[in-house]
Chains A and B, each alone.
Chain A
Amino acid sequence: MADNVFDAIVVGSGISGGWAAKELCEKGLKVIMLERGPNVEHIKDYHSATKHPWEFPHRGSRTQQMIKDYPVLKRDYPLNEMNLEWWASDKDCPYTEIKRFDWFRGYQVGGRSLMWGRQSYRLSDLDFEANAREGIAIDWPVRYKDIEPWYDYVEKFAGVSGNRDGIPHLPDGQFLPPMELNCVEKDVAARIRSSFGGKRHMIIGRSANVTGPLEGRQQCQFRDKCWLGCPFGGYFSTQSSTLPAAMKTGNLTLRPWSIVTKVLYDKDKKRATGVEVLDAQTNQTYEYKSKIVFLNASTLNTTWILMNSATDVWPDGLGSSSGELGHNLMDHHLGVGAGGWVEGYEDKYYYGRRPNGFYIPRFRNLNGEKRNYLRGFGYQGAASRENWERSIAEYSIGAEFKEALTEPGRWTIGMGGFGEILPYHENKVTLDKTRTDKWGLNVLAIDCELKENELNMRKDMLNDAMEMLEAAGVKDVSGADGDGTPGRGIHEMGTARMGRDPKTSVLNKWNQVWDAPNVFVTDGSFMTSAACQNPSLTYMAFTARAADYAVQELKRMNL
């Protein structure tokens, strides 16, 4: 084989790209994984992972210079001193906001799998059937039974800790031992259960942290510093999990600094022939050839690649024949929640830093209930004891004040909602041909907003959070609807949806581009609806399933 020819090309090395590479390599394909940013070697390149708080000059906080350099990232918690190198440069990689959209990106080997929140939930038929049931957008081309074995498969390898809660619309999985709710959370959970007739559940979060024996992996050490990279490999990331598995086969070539600018397309064979790569360091252009291409560049960048792959056959981009490419952009809307403090439990505390919280799965619009909006939301939160950041009214300054602050304070509890955003055709991305990035490439223009359904839902998200905490006896409960700007969920989904009909969808049920069946898209862009669960586990499952199908189809000479 020439050195630019492979069986498969995987574009992107984050959660789904890592899975694609592992699966294809393990099935014997020679694979090149292309990543637009620098390499990050497991452990060796986790520069902040073992630093003490006092070793950061600004104790982790942001400086005015950082605020100036990162006009988008500064809008929320990601702008910080500790893992700044893992967030994409807003200056080098601008985008156009027709409406405000907070796009927080990770451009390095591992992508955002290094910094992700690790919450891992299955979708169920409540989600897969929702569009069809309600006449929204188009039907998902799959059902839970199609994807269930793949959830099993990816959970077993990735390592997901969780409790088997028996909640029908949040299916149990192949869990490692659950983490523990703390004393206050346990009691609040029991009070919510009894106050709402057993219909609302507060469960321990299901998190991709290793809590029991898992081959090739070390267990979580409860440092709660996951987003700095884990020197123990205690959480799922490309580096800790899928990349070493892919490397072990001897079939993987990893090429960092490789911006894929287009998929090369043979209009006679109606197949992709490979990709064009712009070397991010040298600005040289290269071509790589392959039998199949997996696009896992992250939702919006995958769609950008497809759009940038326009030909005279497909002037709006590869996969654009349905007119849906770039449309139906979704996220989860957050920024609304409630909190308060909890009386008592002064003789209780916890040990260790749990990288996880509680989860309240969706409870609205179930079992025949009809609110003034469709779908629903879940909550994530935690209870903890106050630390030195609290104010202590009875002391001013001095020795007594100091001694009081060295002890834990009251228990507080808080939670925030994650709401489903419907797939709207008019929430979309397009190529902005008037503007280019550092490499002279046209940037994306994002035009996305919450609509009435989401705004109505937010009222419930606020009221229900307060009502549940009050019912549980939490004191001085207060809530707020803060900032629901799309993008802040960092769960971009849609823009290359899957469906049953090439006239209304970009991908078929196997994540194949209808217009080029040897191109598979298995990052968040395939999502036909968003559900309200954190989506990464679903990308993993669909990726493993698509890789399996791709190899079968290759063997059948169909690609």
Chain B
Amino acid sequence: MNRREALSRVALIFGGTIVGAEAFLTGCRNSSAPAETLTFSPDVISLLDEVGETILPTTASSPGAKAAAIGEFMKVIVTDCYEEKDQQIFMEGIGKLNEAADKKYGKDFMALSAEEKHNLLVEIDAEAKAYNESKSSEDPNHYFTLMKQLTLWGYFTSEVGATKALRYVPVPGRYEGCIEYKKGEKAWAL
């Protein structure tokens, strides 16, 4: 990101349109050592893949977040970029997700059908949104907000997300400032 991009992103933040824009912008802020014991077992990665796929599922026009190896992406970012307190929230969130699944369906998250996963995460998403509305900047993040942000960020910057869900043109060759846009056409990946 160069300064001009930083400036135009300032506009977005000022416009108040992004939830968690700061997280996208800076990835991770302030210094603190990563937790010593962050374990992303294959089971955890599979679960995060399912969470990601439920947030951004495979559709007729493009593969879903699982195809972007979203679980692995979350592991890398949480391990390397997150502050310790967000690492903790994220890891505890996995447990909370299973608890919520158990409470609603009497099953672990991984045992739910696609429809059940969707319905559960819609509820948790609403809970996170409600939490964010009254959240001050010092309050801890909601674990689902972190998972959702990582899913969007990881997917739309992945090869499958950028090239299938969006339009990716590595070398545009020219600039045109005003072209026609028809509803349904995909956004530029960059």
Listed in ascending order, the chain A residues whose CB lies under 8 Å from chain B are 50, 52-54, 57-65, 67-68, 71, 74, 77, 80, 117, 179-183, 185-186, 221-224, 226-227, 337-341, 346-357, 380-391, 396-399, 401-403, 405-410, 412-416, 476-480
Set of chain B residues within 8 Å of A415, measured between Cβ atoms:
7, 11
Would you call B12 and A64 a contact (CB within 8 A)?
no
B153: interface (CB < 8 Å): yes
Q: Is the CB of B173 within 8 A of A221?
A: yes
Cα separation A67 to B30 with both chains bound (whole Å):
7
Q: Which residues of A contact B5 (CB under 8 A)?
A: 224
Q: Residue on A with the closest CB to B182?
A: A347
CA distance A480 to B16 in the complex (A): 12
**Of A224, A349, A380, A406, the contact of B181 (CB 8 Å cutoff):** A349
Structural contact, A406 and B187, CB atoms closer than 8 A = yes
* Residue among A227, A338, A398 making CB contact with B122, cutoff 8 Å: A398
- Complex formed: what's the CA distance from A186 to B176 in Å? 13
A347 to B178, CA, bound (A): 10
- 14 A-B contacts (beta carbon < 8 Å): A50-B170, A53-B189, A64-B28, A117-B2, A179-B177, A221-B171, A351-B172, A354-B175, A391-B17, A398-B118, A402-B57, A402-B59, A414-B11, A478-B15
**B17 close to A412 (CB less than 8 A):** yes
Report Cα–Cα, A388/B29, bound state, in Å. 22
CA distance A175 to B154 in the complex (A): 41
Name the distance in Å between A59's Cβ and chain B's nearest Cβ: 5
Q: How far is the CA of A384 from the CA of B181 in the complex (A)?
A: 13
User: Which listed residue (A222, A226, A387, A413) contacts B173, Cβ 8 A?
Assistant: A222
B173-A352 in contact (CB<8A) = yes
Question: Given A341-B17, A480-B14, are A67 and B28 neighbors across the interface (CB < 8 Å)?
Answer: yes
B14 touches A223 (CB 8 A): no
Cα distance A390–B21 in the bound complex, in angstroms: 8
A399 CA / B60 CA spacing, docked (Å) = 9
**B112 contacts the other chain (Cβ, under 8 Å)?**
no
Assuming A52-B162, A401-B55, what are 20 further A-B pairs, CB within 8 angstroms?
A50-B170, A117-B3, A186-B177, A224-B2, A340-B14, A346-B183, A348-B181, A349-B181, A352-B174, A354-B175, A357-B7, A384-B8, A389-B24, A402-B57, A406-B186, A406-B187, A414-B8, A414-B10, A414-B14, A478-B14
Please indicate the chain A residues that have their CB under 8 angstroms from the CB of B122 in the complex: 396-398
Alpha-carbon separation in the docked complex, A73 to B153 (Å): 24
Closest B residue to A385 by beta carbon equals B187
Cβ–Cβ contact A403 & B11, under 8 A: no
Distance (Å) between the CB of A25 and the closest chain B CB?
31
Mark B residues whose CB is within 8 Å of A: 1-19, 21, 24, 26-34, 54-57, 59, 61-62, 64, 76-77, 80-83, 118, 121-122, 125-126, 148, 152-154, 156-159, 162, 165-166, 169-190
Given contacts A381-B8, A387-B187, contact A58 B178 (CB under 8 A): no
Please indicate the chain B residues that have their CB under 8 angstroms from the CB of A385 in the complex. Answer: 187
When distances are taken between beta carbons in the complex, the residues of chain A under 8 Å from B179 are 348-351
Contact check, B31 vs A67: say whether CB atoms are below 8 A apart: yes
Contacts A381-B8, A398-B118: A352 and B175 contacting too (C-beta < 8 A)?
Answer: yes
- Enumerate the 4 nearest inter-chain pairs by beta-carbon distance, A residue then B residue, closest first: A414-B11, A339-B11, A61-B27, A352-B172
- Complex contact B170–A52 (CB within 8 A): yes
Kindly identify which residue among B3, B154, B174, B180 contacts A222, using a CB–CB cutoff of 8 Å: B174
Residues of A within 8 Å of B174, CB to CB, are: 222, 351-352
Q: How far is the CA of A391 from the CA of B152 in the complex (A)?
A: 11
Task: Give the chain B neighbours of A398 by CB distance below 8 A.
Answer: 54-55, 57, 118, 122
Known: A224-B190, A340-B15, A396-B122. A356 touches B4 (CB 8 A): yes
Does A185 contact B177, Cβ atoms closer than 8 Å?
Answer: yes
B147 to chain A, nearest CB (A): 10
| Shortest distance between the CB of B188 and any CB in chain A (Å) | 8
| Chain B residue nearest in CB terms to A67 | B31
Across the two chains, which residue of chain B brings its CB closest to A417? B7
State the CA gap A479–B153 with chains docked (Å).
26
Q: B122: nearest residue on chain A (CB-CB)? A: A396
Complex CA gap A58/B72 in Å reads 11
Contact in complex: B27, A58 (CB < 8 Å): yes
Question: Do residues A179 and B159 form an inter-chain contact, with CB atoms below 8 A?
Answer: no
Complex interface: chain B residues within 8 A of A58 (CB): 27, 76-77, 80-81
A386 adjacent to B3 (CB under 8 Å): no
Known pairs A117-B3, A397-B121, A478-B15; A352 contacts B32 (CB<8 A): no
Alpha-carbon distance between A357 and B33 when the two chains are bound, in angstroms: 38
A354 to B9, CA, bound (A): 15
Q: Which residue of B lies closest to A82 (CB)?
A: B1
Partner of B11, one of A352, A381, A391, A399: A381
Structural contact, A60 and B55, CB atoms closer than 8 A: no
Instruction: Point out the residue from A186, A223, A410, A416 that lies within 8 Å of B178, measured CB to CB.
Output: A186
Chain B residues with CB under 8 A of A402: 55-57, 59, 62, 64, 165
Most buried by A among B59, B80, B83, B158: B80
B77, B184, B187: which contacts A388 (Cβ < 8 A)? Answer: B187
Select B80's contact among A63, A387, A401, A408, beta carbons within 8 Å: A63
Instruction: Please name the residue on chain A nearest to B11 by beta carbon.
Output: A414
